Amino acid sequence: MPRYAPGSVGSRTVRAADVPDGALGALRQAAGIRDVEDLLVVPAQARPGRLGGSRLQILTPAGVLGFGPGGVALWVGAPALPGVRVVLRPQQVAAIETTHILLHARLTILATDARLTIHYNAVAEHELHPLLRSLRRRVAHTELDLPDAPVPNAGLPYKWRRLLVSDAVCLDDGDPVAAVAGRLPVPRWSEPAYAAVVLTPRELVFLADPVHTEPTGGRHGLDTHCIPRARIEQVRADGPLLRVRVCGADLQLPLGDELSARVVHTFARHLPTAR
């Protein structure tokens, strides 16, 4: 087994020798992966948690994510019974969510009747990103029309002008996009925070600065949701929340009253909206 630096909570492997015994074969069978380049290996880790009023350490065994034509599968190296714990087919996936705060990252894949969540080190993001992009292409393969809503530039920081046309949004280079973006409602003394909802031919993509952990992480991170447009059942503004119903699940995206209303108004003819 590979050795990891203290505090490391995620790394993608490129060598078969680094993959836990049994994981490669099991993931080939579960999701049709080709080889180790389709894997993300997350070593065993301990992270702080709480049970009631008590602090404790949550111990997580090593895990391996595999991405292939059959979807995504998670192999867990549980000491008593290692093996594949979750398999999500492309047709089951409702949304792909990522959260990054400094070096801490979390991936959640929501399906009609299951959820896959894994914590990893954000250093591995550049390795995980192409794997997630391949999954997004398999999930969102139906192209739909776009409204005339040019990408906004005025008043947005450089980070956000770049994000709105980056591969965090676009599945393929040159994809057309329509976007609604602006400031999130935060206290006056707080650092400004921004969010955007971007429509591409195949997805609705939500991007937001982290606002829930500012004392520790500031705005050094990004929250995302990638949702296949063809599976969206309803989009509506509910006060400060943009609610997206997809595959029976109700996603609540915190945008603030003004941005939520603008999204529904701008995309009303291209999404199943409710006012």
Locus of tokens 């997809």? 246
**Per-residue pLDDT reduced to its tens digit, 98-146:** 998 888 899 999 998 899 999 888 888 888 999 999 999 999 999 999 9
Handedness of CA 128, 130, 136, 138 (dihedral sign): negative
Sheet strands (E) in 112-191 = 115-121, 178-183
Question: What mean pLDDT, rounded, does the chain reach?
Answer: 86
The candidate with the shortest Cα–Cα distance to 223, out of 236, 212, 235, is 212
- What burial letters (b/e) apply to 3-17, b meaning 16+ CB within 10 Å? ebeeebbbbbbeeee
Is residue 205 within 8 Å of residue 197, measured between CB atoms? Answer: yes
Q: Which domains does the chain have, with CATH numbers?
A: 16-139 (2.30.29), 158-274 (2.30.29)
Percent pLDDT > 90 in the chain is 60
**Per-residue pLDDT reduced to its tens digit, 52-103:** 677 777 778 889 999 999 999 999 998 888 999 999 999 999 999 999 888 8
Tokens describing residue 14: 């490129």
- pTM, two decimals, is 0.87
State CA 218 to chain mean position distance: 20
